[in-house]
Amino acid sequence: MRIILKREKCISCGSCVALCPKYFEMGEDGRSMIKGSKKNQKTGNFELEIKEVGCAKDAAETCPVQIIHIEK
């Protein structure tokens, strides 16, 4: 599984960080980041391989602009 974040569309609301600080933090530019993620050069999205979804599911469901996706 992996978390995918379309970071360029982030509106800096911080809901993902509040719900899931295990995986998310705010970057220096005020946008959300996935801790330890790598940028996919083809898509421009940030991705992180995970074993358990945990709170990332809550973050994805709560994101007001729906830019967090969990891929199984």
How many C-beta atoms surround the C-beta of residue 29 within 10 A? 9
Using pLDDT thresholds of 50, 70 and 90, give the confidence band for residue 2.
Answer: very high
How many C-beta atoms lie closer than 10 Å to residue 67's C-beta? 19
Give the N- to C-terminal CA distance of the chain in Å, as an integer: 4
Question: pLDDT tens for residues 25-64?
Answer: 999 999 999 999 999 999 999 999 999 999 999 999 999 9
Global pTM reads 0.94
CATH topology of domain 2-71: Alpha-Beta Plaits (3.30.70)
Q: Where are the domains of the chain?
A: 2-71
